Chains A and B, each alone.
Chain A
Amino acid sequence: MADSKISVEQVRHVARLARLELSAADEIALQANLSEILQYIDQLNRLDTSAVAPTAQVGETGTPMREDVIANRPDPEAMLANAPARAGNLFKVPRIIE
């Protein structure tokens, strides 16, 4: 992998940002896959886009706005029904340390 587009360290950094635990084998595979894909993506550099505006969306512009009315009724049971762990009507997680 002489001209890898991405190093194993970068793979690890990105995995930290993405909150994904990777095995050593995952890291190597991802380094190879991502390098190949990024290499392919590099063909975009053939295009001079210095004067081109970016397109983020292709729908109509001007976001609609809703009136400020309360439309929902409390239903904590429905909202917590899928919770992996709960304490009463609260979601339970390991103790958070800041």
Chain B
Amino acid sequence: MTSELNRMTIAEARDGLARREFSALELTRACLEQIKLVDPKINAFITVCAREALAQAAAADRRLAAGDAPALCGIPLAIKDIYATRGVRTTCASKMLENFVPPFDATVIARLREAGAVFIGKANMDEFAMGSSTENSAFGVTRNPHNVERVPGGSSGGSAAAVAADECLGALGTDTGGSIRLPAAFCGVAGIKPTYSRVSRYGVIAYASSLDQVGPFAKTVRDAAILLRTLAGHDPRDSTCSARPVPDYEAALTGDVRGMRIGVPKEYFVAGMEPQVETAIRAALASYERLGAKLVDISLPHTEYAIAAYYIVATAEASANLARYDGIRYGLRVDADNTGDLYNRTRAAGFGTEVKRRIMLGTFVLSAGYYDAYYLKGQKVRTLIRGDFDRAFARCDVIATPVAPTTAFKIGEKMADPLQMYLSDIFTISVNLAGLPGLSIPCGFDRDGLPIGLQLIGAPFAEETILRAGDAFERTGAVKRRAAIL
């Protein structure tokens, strides 16, 4: 029995812990055992926090015994290594921060602590969240638990893989252009990127500030809803964080989608999509019709421009966000006899290839003479993309699309061609530009056993709607959660 605890959902574990069927310590140990067993094969973690996790679990057991268990008491989670964790090394998968130990917690980390969660470890990712495959990590590639020759998606690939491989019950990721939804799809788990401003970004190492958003991975939509309720809400430390009240997302999971209008954008079903992906998506749409939802044909005409606009806006912001890594106050330093060389060499040695590429692109699009042609243009196209969604949501409640045109690709396949890699995010990136919530759920498997993801996009702050839709599909049992093949 003990060895199976790590396979539980959060909802199941919550009940089991409450009934004292097992202890938080046993649950945490089961996850640590699993990590010992499988992580050498998939490398989902940069830092495993066994000692801290066991102490947190012991504390959770005391609270459970005292009968004052908060929402996530004793639930082991993996934390993307982009979150500042007080006293625990936080690398952002970069050599630049290899030895950086923050003296503070990110707001969501503090919230999870308060909710009694157990932090099992810091998950691998693309360096500074720049990538779609978790191959751009200074700490090695993370492998897809369904097929270790394949990527787990990125940038939150470690978090998704850890959940898929039952190394934890849930995980934290971040999503700037698809970095939760794509790995969720590739690894066959649920992942939600909430509305921009729904969750605090304080203490989340910034990639592109106007696009970054915090979100959970989980084995079920219900678990994602449980996690989101703790994460979301106003934070006086984040000026962009909304003060809207946080609904009880779990209560929204009624299973009832009758009358729900599901928009199907024609621009998301185009050449280049794998037929098996399209088949699975169409089958999911048919399920929704059987559940009483109504399919509506819609158009998001500026979809094809999203990647171009994104790579202007995101890299511009990134070029400034990453200027703080200068070798003076923390992080790597390559010594030199003047400050100019110190910067140049430190940054050359500390950043990986993709990070440098994006810093260069972002610096260029903001530089004198190019601002209007690139940066301003990107911002204007962003307006057009938002407008597409505004018009679409006048006609539907949810937009359903594939998460990606393909299933998980082979490790190394796209590393030589950055543009091809960028195109992996073609279906997820518009959602970030528009600041909308997007949920990724498994909706099938291809012939090779690789998961296929369905994306459900909502209007701003319509997390309840997309979670209800995702949960309703999950309840049909059309897709059985498939244990990773490890």
Contacts and interface: CB of A to CB of B under 8 A. Distances in A.
Given A14-B363, A19-B344, A96-B339, A41 B103 contact: no
Contacts of B242: 59-60
Interface string A4-47: 00100011011101111110001000100110111011011101
Contacts of B239: 63-64
Nearest to B100: A82
A94 B377 CA distance: 40
B305 A47 contact: yes
A54 B333 contact: no
Contact of A21 (B329, B337, B344, B434): B344
Contacts of A6: 364
Interface in B301-330: 302, 304-305, 307-309, 311-312, 319, 323, 326-330
Given A21-B348, A52-B383, A58-B386, 4 more contacts: A20-B359, A20-B360, A22-B348, A52-B384
Given A44-B305, A91-B328, A93-B342, A11 B360 contact: yes
> Interface size bucket, B side?
35 or more
A17 to B, nearest CB: 5
B336 A94 contact: yes
A78 B329 CA distance: 12
Interface string B399-430: 00000000000000000001100100000000
Interface of B: 99-101, 103, 196-197, 210, 236, 239-243, 302, 304-305, 307-309, 311-312, 319, 323, 326-333, 335-345, 347-348, 351, 356-357, 359-361, 363-364, 367, 374, 376-384, 386, 418-419, 422, 433-435
Nearest to B322: A18
A64 B350 CA distance: 35
Contacts of B376: 54
Interface residues of A, number: 52
A33 B378 contact: no
Nearest to B317: A56
Overall SS of chain B's interface: helix
Contacts of B433: 58
Contact of A84 (B210, B327, B381, B434): B327
A15 B312 contact: no
Contacts of B343: 19
Most-contacted residue by chain B among A11, A40, A95 (CB, 10 A): A40
Contacts of A95: 338
6 contacts: A19-B340, A34-B361, A55-B380, A55-B386, A83-B329, A94-B337
B383 A57 contact: no
A20 B342 contact: no
A81 B331 CA distance: 11
Given A18-B360, A60-B242, A37 B311 contact: yes
Contact of B103 (A11, A37, A60, A78): A78
